[in-house]
Structure 1
Amino acid sequence: MFKKRLLLVSLSILLLSKAAYSQEESTVPQGVLTLDQVVEFALERSPIIRQAQLDREIGDRNIKSNLADWYPQITASAAGAYNIKLQQQIIGDQLITFGQPYNSNILLQADQTLFNRDQLFASKSSKYYRQQLHQVIEDARINTVVDVSKAFYSILLSEEQLNILDQNLDRLEKQYKDAYSRFDAGLVDKTDYQRASIALTNVKSDRNRVANSFDAKYDYLKQLMGYPDSLDFRIEFDLEGAAGNIGGNAADPLVLENRIEYQLLKTQQTLNEIQTGYEKWNYLPQLSAYYRYNWNYFSQDFSNLYNTAYPISAVGLNLSIPIFQGGKRVHKVKAAELQVERGNVEIENLGNQIKTEYSTALADYNSSIYEWQLIRENMEMAEEVYNIIKMQYDEGIKAYVDLVVAETDLQTAQINHINAFYQVLEDKLDLEKALGTIN
């Protein structure tokens, strides 16, 4: 009977676990996903963001722990002792014995901080520590958007390369069959179909390399997203829409305060300034109040120890005034002031770095747009040249070697065009990150 019950309980737990797992899987998007869907999922499940969120929760708990010292601190303690040899003293001509063999006490004490520099520092800095923790999460979110988008673009690039190679493969297979038919008919020598075979093999090799890269690229994207390994998805992207949104020399003016790194450094500088005040507060006294209630017990026998209590209670203030500490406070104040000065230099240096990063990103973006436009024109011309030479070859005007060269030029122009386009997309991301406009 017991085994049957144990089996039923085990099955119930298993079914509940499967149901919970199925419910979790149902919330994971599958099928064909857009860039927005991929980024949205990554912002919820990315390991980097989840770690930053946990760090914020840990930091928030630490802040609350420090602020808790402002509340009354209530403690209780107890002690007991057996005096093997009682104290004796001669008073006049008599030997007097003090105390009882058994004694014990129970102490209840409440302390209330009235003024303490540690608690004052915790109160003034808590707002900025929370702000800093929030900014760290925002920095993780921005980096996640950039990294996930670039990984997404990398897969798209491979897909477009694969499409181009498939188109070229179809053409080359047809050319190979035509060249072999002409050789078989005695119209040309075997070099034409041999060249066609070499070109066909090269394209097959390129296609195999690109096709084999998909699993690794999807695994990398899943890693960045925090996507379950047991599930799969495919991506889609509006290439024409993205191309229409690209424009040269179009960028918002740089505002340093928009960069999360700059915001983090400014927050840290505020904390440095509060730290300087904290070190100066070390000259101030510390004041606290207390209340104590102590139950004392004495007895000749242990069995009667707790029959009668002799309580005492007290309320009072503790005042601690630092007078001389060997110059320690002076050095700590000076070190804190130097830290503030260093922070100002660091902020200035970061501002210069951001300006350089922005100018570099803007130059790269405009250059990549210009290069993409030129390569697109080259691709269109390569298509036109190929079509003309193909027609001339079919009519017997051009040699097959001319057709092979035109085919190679067309494939190179197509690959270069798609590479240039995705370079524009990546440079646009880098420019938006440099501007601090990624949400």
Structure 2
Amino acid sequence: MVLKKSCIFILFFIPAILMAQENQKLTLDDLIQIAYQNQPVLRMTMIEREIIDNNVKSSLSGWLPQAGLEADYFRYFEQPVAIFPDFNNPGSGNVQEVRTGVPFNSNLNFFVNQSIVNNDLFRAKGQANYLRASAEQNLELVKIELNVNTSKAFFEALLSQEEIRIREEDIQRQERQLKDARSLYEAGITDNIDYKRARIALQNSRSALFQAREQYQVSMARLKELAGISGAAQIELDYELNELIEQVQLDTLEGVDYGKRYESRYLMSQKSIQEAELAFSRRTFLPNIDAFFNYNIIYQTLDGSQLFNTAFPNSLAGFRMAFPIFQGGRRNYEIRAADLQLKQLEVAQEELQLQINREHQEALSAYKAYLYEWKIQEEIKDTAEEIYNTISLQYEEGVKNFLEVIQAETDLRTSRINYINALFRLMASKMDLLKARGEVQTEEL
């Protein structure tokens, strides 16, 4: 209970804090919590869950006694006619027309009805728990999808952010190199080739930095959309790269458990709902039996102003039965259709298992491939750093030329970018693998 209250507190106050201050630093968990609170698709699904719950309660309310009050008032401009035999001479076969009733009438009817046997209510009771379960499972599917997509968007934004950091470091280094090359050129120690090469390298890096910053804006817009954050809000991503690296490893020998996938649970609920529907179709031979009690008050008068002065009450109680005898074969057709729909769901279960197998294999293969690539890129990055440091020292000692420095720097930058690309692709593939295994953790709403 304490944990649930804490989650509600976080869900309620994070958006308020975000709007009150600028440049909030948010972790991935913070963004997912905000998404739970603000994401329109998730909120629509939560509303849908409430709608289904209220529809179930509405259907089950038919088991309770139904009470009501009916009233009417009417005036005859031409009173109805009843035909009676000639009471003075019944054997003559003659009839007489008699106007019945009075011009001014009013009825007040209070009734209570209690269903005893009702096939619609049996169906509502049989489907209630499964309808609620399917609504919860559908909500869980949306939450899982939101978790995965928000995480992948977070990693994509981190990729752009890390690329910006790498390119900014390169520019700082290249600005120093350009300054050194210009000093050597102005001192007459070297020609202007190194100076021009340094300018070209710096311009290329600035152009790449501009593109990386624009890509970062696109990534942040995507992340804000998933989290339901206003585009005007200023946020920063809070993360520890080493912690992310420590969490990136998964057991690649673990298989897939169909029962963990909420798609399987959702389909099982749909199957149970359809089984209740089939049972309903088979029970349509049952009569509807109700118990009722009516209390009527009838007001009648020749003078409209005196209508409610005299009342003629009556009351009755009893049972009412409606029994279908012949419906043109409709019951058999409905049973057949419901049975076919149930078989259709059974086939859908088989198709879902095949789909889950394929998704798991795709996710597992992608994760293993990116894991291998990440380790290779890590080795390449370390090697590129060693080469760059060595050539930089050799250049300062006059052993290597400036072109080799630029080439080593380009290799270093490329290897670092390839490394973070492989790392964040690995993190994204990890989320896909967790989703395929049904192991994405979500918060209760």
Over the aligned positions, Cα root-mean-square deviation in angstroms equals: 2.2
Name the CA shift for 1:96/1:145 in 2 (closer, same or farther; >3 Å). Answer: closer
Consecutive unaligned residues in structure 1, runs of 5 or more: 1-20
Name the CA shift for 1:238/1:307 in 2 (closer, same or farther; >3 Å). Answer: same
Bigger shift: residues 402-411 or 34-43: 34-43
Matched, 1:135 2:128: no
Contact 1:47 1:225 in 2 (8 A): no
Superposed CA deviations along residues 402-435 of structure 1, whole A, max 9, x for unmatched, are 2221111111111000100001110111111111
For residues 181 and 371 of structure 2, the distance between their equivalents in structure 1, rounded to whole angstroms, comes to: 40
Residue 161 of structure 1 corresponds to 163
Q: Secondary structure of the residue that 1:41 maps to in structure 2?
A: helix
Residue 33 of structure 2 corresponds to 40
Residue 280 of structure 2 corresponds to 278
TM-score in terms of structure 1 length: 0.90
Letter in 2 for 1:266: M
Residue 25 of structure 1 corresponds to 16
**Residue 253 of structure 1: how far off its partner (Å):** 2.6
For residues 80 and 382 of structure 1, the distance between their equivalents in structure 2, rounded to whole angstroms, comes to: 97
For residues 301 and 369 of structure 2, the distance between their equivalents in structure 1, rounded to whole angstroms, comes to: 95
Select 1:74's aligned residue among 67, 79, 83.
Answer: 67
**Residue 172 of structure 1: how far off its partner (Å):** 1.1
Residue 252 of structure 1 corresponds to 254
For residues 97 and 405 of structure 2, the distance between their equivalents in structure 1, rounded to whole angstroms, comes to: 127
Residue 354 of structure 1 corresponds to 356
**Residue 250 of structure 1: how far off its partner (Å):** 3.4
For residues 290 and 78 of structure 1, the distance between their equivalents in structure 2, rounded to whole angstroms, comes to: 18
Residue 438 of structure 2 corresponds to 436
Between the two proteins, what is the percent identity of the paired residues?
A: 34
Select 2:397's aligned residue among 390, 395, 398.
Answer: 395
Contact 1:249 1:366 in 2 (8 A): no
**Residue 97 of structure 1: how far off its partner (Å):** 4.1
Matched, 1:53 2:46: yes
Bigger shift: residues 399-408 or 85-94: 85-94
Superposed CA deviations along residues 56-80 of structure 1, whole A, max 9, x for unmatched, are 1111111111111111112222222
Residue 374 of structure 2 corresponds to 372
Superposed CA deviations along residues 212-259 of structure 1, whole A, max 9, x for unmatched, are 333443333222222355643322212112212333653533110101
Name the CA shift for 1:89/1:59 in 2 (closer, same or farther; >3 Å). Answer: closer
Q: Secondary structure of the residue that 2:191 maps to in structure 1?
A: coil
Bigger shift: residues 410-419 or 234-243: 234-243
Bigger shift: residues 56-65 or 92-101: 92-101
For residues 130 and 22 of structure 1, the distance between their equivalents in structure 2, rounded to whole angstroms, comes to: 29
Contact 1:248 1:366 in 2 (8 A): no
Alignment of 1:65-214 (within 5 A): 65-86=58-79, 87=81, 89=83, 91-92=86-87, 96-214=98-216
Consecutive unaligned residues in structure 2, runs of 5 or more: 1-11, 89-95
Contact 2:26 2:236 in 1 (8 A): yes
Letter in 2 for 1:330: N
Contact 1:183 1:190 in 2 (8 A): yes
Letter in 1 for 2:265: Q
**Residue 22 of structure 1: how far off its partner (Å):** 10
For residues 26 and 395 of structure 1, the distance between their equivalents in structure 2, rounded to whole angstroms, comes to: 55
Letter in 1 for 2:70: S
For residues 303 and 142 of structure 2, the distance between their equivalents in structure 1, rounded to whole angstroms, comes to: 68
Contact 1:67 1:123 in 2 (8 A): yes
**Residue 81 of structure 1: how far off its partner (Å):** 2.5
For residues 247 and 97 of structure 2, the distance between their equivalents in structure 1, rounded to whole angstroms, comes to: 105
Count of equivalent residues: 419
For residues 220 and 15 of structure 2, the distance between their equivalents in structure 1, rounded to whole angstroms, comes to: 21
**Residue 29 of structure 1: how far off its partner (Å):** 9.1
